[in-house]
Structure formats: C-alpha cells, structure tokens
Structure 1
Amino acid sequence: MSGGTVASLPEGLLDGGVWFRVEAAGTAAAVRRAAERLAAELGMPDNRVADLSIVAAEAAGNLVKHADQGTVLLRAVRTAGQAGVELIAIDNGPGMVDVQRSAGDGHSTAGTLGIGFGAILRQASWSDLHSIPGKGTVLAVRVWPATAPEPSWAAGITRPITGETVSGDAYAVRDAEGRRQLLVCDGLGHGGLAAAAANEAVRTFLKAPSAPPAVVVESLHRAISHTRGAALAVAELDSEAGLVRYAGLGNISGTVFGPDGTRRGMVSMPGIAGHQRRQVREYDYPLAPGAIVLMHSDGVVDRWQPADYPGLLSRSPEVIAATVLRDAGTRRDDAGVLVARSS
C-alpha cells in the first residue's frame, strides 16, 4: 500500500501500512498476529513484541465490543536509529464522555473487567486519543523497542479506494537543511500505476536539494514525466518567519488552522505534474505558533469543521489526520491527509 515517509527513513521506504476492518473476534486476532509478525520482522526484542501483542489485542478487541465500523491501520514507524510499530484504531462508535475515567482500570461499558484501555496505555511507548460522544474515537499508539523518540511534528495517513490494495495517494515529510517541508501527491487514477506516479514523486522529493517549494515542485514535474502524472503540492513551515510557503499543481487542498480558530485555504495552480503545467507559483501565508497545516487529496472533502470536534486541533498530527480521514474521506477515491504543527 502506498503511503508516506520521512527524510530520515531508509531510501525507498514507502510504508503506508495495512488496513483491517474489525467487526468480529477473528479479525481482532488477525490484527494481533499481524502486529507480532511486523515487530519480529523489524527485529524488536521479545519483551516488546509481547507488549505490542497486548496493545493490538486490546485495541482491536475494544472495536469488536464497543465500536461501529471499526478499522485499524497497522504500520512500521522509523527514526534514524530504530524501528517500531504504530497502530491507529478508528471507529464511529458512541465515543467517550470522560476519556480520563475510561482510561482507568475497572471502567467498562460492555460488562467486561474494564482493564483493556489501561493495559494499552501502560504497554505503549506513546499514545494519543480523541473521542467525541456520538462521533466516535481515534486511538493512536506506538510501541518502540527502546526509549521512545520525541513525538513527530508531522504525520499522515492514506487509504486506497474500495476494492484496491494500494493507494495512489502518498505523502512525505523532510527537514532539508532547516527547511521543514511537506509533500502530498495524488497519482492520476487508481491502483498500481497511480501508486507508481505518487511513489516516484516521493522518492524525488526526499532526494531533492534544499530549495523553496516552487523549485521543488518544478523538479517533481520533470521527474515524473515518465509516469501517468499526479496532482501534488509542497508546503514549507518557517516558524521563525511566521510563514507557510506553498506551491502546488492540481487538486491538492492545503489549509492553515490558526490557534485562534481562523482557517485559511492555500492556492494550487491548475495542471498535472509530469504532463501539463502553467507557471508554478509560490504563495506565503501567516503561520502563528501552534498553528496546524493540513493538506489532503481530493479523496477528502472540505466540509468538516473544527468547531464540531472540540479539542481535536490540540491533539497529535496522527490523531488529527485519522479523524479527518474517517469523517471527510470518501470510499469512492483514494484518500490521503497530512498534518503538521508549527513550533
């Protein structure tokens, strides 16, 4: 499955993970086994594989007991020094009125012992959660083999159109000589050829010299001319200058959400990277400390409103991206969301 990567990862890595639809105990067991296999492949020590097994079993089991339309994304996460496993559990269930109380051992809404959620938090190296009554819950957890790294400043998530196993949407994040840059790419069409176009854009982006977004977009346009082409956009977060620099070709949406509740869209130019383009233009937008930059493909609609999700924009990029994908993503297209927070 195509997905995202960051500049510190091994060259060529495009680990979008595997999605599971969790509706029965058998699927929950499959999630646990897949997590164990992935951890073993990554060389995690036995004790952390065992911890991950508990996390995966409890997270997937909670979806079976409590959730509607529960899904789990399982994927590898890497830094320059170690590899771990991330699990994101997403549901449209009843949600939680009191998240802190729900996390305590002994609290249950299904007649069980109520120890599952507490076990997840104890075994995970890092976790984050957002839940709204009547809308559902998103839980993101990571299990690392050793000391957990600092939480990431940016994270993304992709999902293929129903019926496909790979997504034509992809994303990447890099810090190129102090330039914190984001890429979202939507390969034309669906399936393997769309994924090939998007993945080529990601590889070129991660190798490209440090340059402003418009220059990077020009280099991507040239690099993917042998593919079917793509819509793509590059954003650069310059916290010192208080600016987002943004350049794009085609139907990629970018929005800056200010900590004061303001919302400002960013402009991409018409065209198809690799085939058709007018002049690539770069635009600057204000970026306040703590602001959120959110980019997505046209498989995600813009109708969601942060006001309907109290506290969401204060959560981790992983949880924000997964929540937006759940409620604004369409199953009739590949969908991808990338979220970054300014420092």
Structure 2
Amino acid sequence: MEALSEPTCLPVAEDVTWIRVEEPAEAGRVRRAATALAERLAFPAARVAEIGVAVTEIATNLHKHAREGVVLVRSVRGTTEAAVELLAVDGGPGIRDVGLAFEDGHSTTGTLGVGLGAVNRLADSCAITSRPGRGTALSARFHPRRGPHAEFPEDVAAGVTRAIGGEEVCGDSYAIRRSPGRLSLMMCDGSGHGPLAATASQAAVRLFCSLSPTAPEDVVARIHRELRGTRGGAVAVAEVDLVARTVRYAGLGNIGAAVVGDGQKRGMVSVPGVAGYQARTIRAFDYPLPDDGVVVMHSDGLTERWTVEHDDDLMSAAPLVVAGSLLRDAGVRKDDACVLVAQTY
C-alpha cells in the first residue's frame, strides 16, 4: 500500500443514481446516465463513446443473465480530475468461470459479441467478485484519459450509499482519510431521511475532513457538538493503525461495525446516544487487527446479521465490490443504507 505524505480525504465519491435493470430499455437508461455524467465532467467525446460501449455490455448482461440486477452510476473526484465509476450488483446465478467471461471476444449476452472483456479493456480499473448461487458484483472506473492518475491512489477503502425508496438523496454519509500508516473512517447516519438527514451527515463529513488526526472519541465528541441545531444522527469513527495492527473505535448510536479476519467477524461496540442531541458517554474501544483484517462499517439500513464463512473469499475482493455485495445481502428496503469497507493488508 502506498502511503500518502499528508492526511487527505481525497478522492471523494458521489453516488449519482441507482438503476434497477429488469427490462431491456433499462440498459439504455444506464448508458444514458453514465454518458451524461461523463459529458458533465467534460470527458472527450471519444471517451464518452467508449464508456457507452462498456456500460451497455454491463447492463445488457444483467438483464440477460442475472436476477435482481442494479447498477450504481457515480463520480469519483480528486483535486483536478474526476472519474466515472459503475457498480453492478445482482442476486445470481453467478459466474462460474470469471476468467473466461473476461476474455475479450467472449460474449456473455449473445448480442454484443464483446463480453466483459470489453469492460476490462476500456475501463481504467475493473474488479469483480462472483459466487455461484449468490450473485456477482462488478466495478469499473473510467478516467477522461488513459495513463497514471496520481490523485487516485490504490483503492484500499470504499463505500456506497443508497437512499430509501422515494427519496432522491441519502441521509447517510461516510468519509475516508489516509495518512502514512493509518486509515481513518467516519460514518454518519442522519436522523430520518431526505435532505435534512443529508444536511446533518454531510456536516459530519466536512468536520471530519477538516480536523487534524486525533483520537476517535475526540472526533465523535466534536461531531456531536457540530450537529447541534441539525437533525443529528448516529456517528462512528474508526482509527486503523496499519503498523501496530489495531483499530480504535468510537461510536455513538446505531452504526454497525466489525473487524473481519482469520475467518471470523468481531463486532465493535457503539454506545447509546444521538450526535447533536444526547451523548452521556463517548467511549473508545481497541481491537486487534489480523494480518488479513478488513474493517466494515454500516448504517442500520443493513442488518448486522451478515456472516463470513471460512471458505468464502469475498473479503479478499476489491473494497467497492465487497461493499456492494454486503449491501445486496444485508440491505433492508425500509431505510437509507451506507456501507464502508477498508482492507488493511
């Protein structure tokens, strides 16, 4: 993992739209959403066309071969450049031979004749995890131009958000801060739904990213004070020490969190309260971080009953596709949802 010289919350992802792909016409919706985003970000016309080809293949494949397929279209922004990113998730049947599916020229749909190989070839980065019978998650990122992208370091942590049905904005937010030998993770679940919940959670993000690195319990206390006058919400901060192999965690309210490693899932403790309203005690707890450790945080839009099997290699996949898989498997439809995944090896 390449360490950064200064703490930074960049790049920042913005989830633009989720599109359920159940009818052929919805593949066109996905393509239009992705290419429109690329045009807004001032991508060259040739690159927009390439994104259209890759996105059409992803969405058509979902319709032809998958169950309950959805696609997230989002932007990932650095200081001077932005990328278009897609996350496609389905509920099965899964791909038995991922390597074959990614061979250029192998058609998974019987229509385009290019298969997922085109996605891999046209994207700047691409990741997939697929488990027969359980489903597939695939991510693809497209920059305006090919070549090195210094503002986008190795993706060791990633998150996704999804608004409750009927709302255009999600009231849950997260932030990731990198510094040499450390990862700092923050999540806020704004109380309720919609714009007012989003206002509270985004205030937490802004404060977190403006603070110098300090103890998680102190950050949570600062966010608690910052959210007075807003709807407030649940908030949690995890400080991951990649050298000492420890996680110091402070949570206020119903943010779920766990350290996954050595084939086990160990939950981390949040204390009762609502940031901005009630916080009788703010405490931090320390947890060991296995060599293969993965830190997962999520709002109560996901049930905490998700499990990790000893023979399941999900946690070794790219963080974004892990987050998408957990949202698919543990997400509940009656609430905003947010999940954040950080790999520490």
TM-score (norm 1): 0.92
The residue aligned with 1:3 is none
Q: 1:333 aligns with which of 320, 335, 344?
A: 335
- Given that 1:105 and 1:114 are in contact with CA atoms closer than 8 Å, whether structure 2 keeps it comes out as no
The residue aligned with 2:5 is none
The residue aligned with 2:74 is 75
Q: CA deviation at 1:116?
A: 2.4
Q: Matches of residues 173-252 of structure 1 in structure 2 within 5 Å?
A: 173-175=176-178, 179-252=182-255
Residue segments in structure 1 that go unaligned for 5+ positions in a row? 1-5
Letter aligned with residue 197 of structure 1: A
Deviates more, 1:146-155 or 1:75-84: 146-155
Q: Matches of residues 123-202 of structure 1 in structure 2 within 5 Å?
A: 123-146=122-145, 147=147, 148=149, 149-175=152-178, 179-202=182-205
- Given that 2:236 and 2:270 are in contact with CA atoms closer than 8 Å, whether structure 1 keeps it comes out as yes
Letter aligned with residue 78 of structure 1: R
CA distance in 2, matches of 1:203, 1:287: 28
Q: CA deviation at 1:176?
A: 5.5
- Given that 2:108 and 2:116 are in contact with CA atoms closer than 8 Å, whether structure 1 keeps it comes out as no
Q: Matches of residues 101-112 of structure 1 in structure 2 within 5 Å?
A: 101-108=100-107, 110-112=109-111
- Residues 56-111 of structure 1, C-alpha deviations (whole Å, 9 max, x = no match): 11111111111211111000012334211100011113111111112224544654
CA distance in 1, matches of 2:257, 2:112: 44
The residue aligned with 1:43 is 42
The residue aligned with 2:120 is 121
CA distance in 1, matches of 2:227, 2:309: 39
Q: CA deviation at 1:179?
A: 4.5
- Given that 2:109 and 2:115 are in contact with CA atoms closer than 8 Å, whether structure 1 keeps it comes out as no
Residue segments in structure 2 that go unaligned for 5+ positions in a row? 1-7
- Given that 1:106 and 1:113 are in contact with CA atoms closer than 8 Å, whether structure 2 keeps it comes out as no
Q: CA deviation at 1:310?
A: 2.4
Letter aligned with residue 122 of structure 2: Q
Aligned residue pair count: 334
- Given that 1:8 and 1:79 are in contact with CA atoms closer than 8 Å, whether structure 2 keeps it comes out as yes
Identity among equivalent positions (%) equals 49
Q: CA deviation at 1:199?
A: 1.1
CA distance in 2, matches of 1:309, 1:327: 17
TM-score (norm 2): 0.92
Deviates more, 1:60-69 or 1:300-309: 300-309
Q: Secondary structure of the equivalent of 1:306?
A: coil
CA distance in 1, matches of 2:64, 2:178: 41
Deviates more, 1:248-257 or 1:295-304: 295-304
Q: Secondary structure of the equivalent of 1:271?
A: coil
Asked whether 1:257 is paired with 2:237, we answer no
Q: 1:46 to 1:110 in 2, by over 3 A?
A: closer
- Given that 2:240 and 2:246 are in contact with CA atoms closer than 8 Å, whether structure 1 keeps it comes out as yes
The residue aligned with 2:280 is 278
Q: CA deviation at 1:145?
A: 2.1
Asked whether 1:98 is paired with 2:97, we answer yes
CA distance in 2, matches of 1:46, 1:37: 11
CA distance in 2, matches of 1:34, 1:156: 20
Q: CA deviation at 1:46?
A: 2.5
- Given that 1:179 and 1:210 are in contact with CA atoms closer than 8 Å, whether structure 2 keeps it comes out as no
CA distance in 1, matches of 2:94, 2:223: 42
The residue aligned with 2:4 is none
Q: CA deviation at 1:228?
A: 1.1
CA distance in 1, matches of 2:311, 2:44: 38
Deviates more, 1:320-329 or 1:170-179: 170-179
- Given that 2:101 and 2:108 are in contact with CA atoms closer than 8 Å, whether structure 1 keeps it comes out as no
Q: CA deviation at 1:28?
A: 1.0
Q: 1:279 to 1:137 in 2, by over 3 A?
A: same
CA distance in 2, matches of 1:297, 1:26: 32
CA distance in 2, matches of 1:175, 1:134: 36
The residue aligned with 1:55 is 54
Letter aligned with residue 191 of structure 2: L
CA distance in 2, matches of 1:109, 1:49: 23
Asked whether 1:32 is paired with 2:35, we answer no
Q: CA deviation at 1:21?
A: 1.1
The residue aligned with 1:294 is 296
Q: Secondary structure of the equivalent of 1:277?
A: coil
- Given that 2:235 and 2:252 are in contact with CA atoms closer than 8 Å, whether structure 1 keeps it comes out as yes
Q: 1:210 to 1:111 in 2, by over 3 A?
A: closer
- Residues 262-304 of structure 1, C-alpha deviations (whole Å, 9 max, x = no match): 2211111110000001221111111123310000011101222
CA distance in 1, matches of 2:175, 2:58: 27
Deviates more, 1:271-280 or 1:286-295: 286-295
The residue aligned with 2:3 is none
Q: 1:109 to 1:34 in 2, by over 3 A?
A: closer
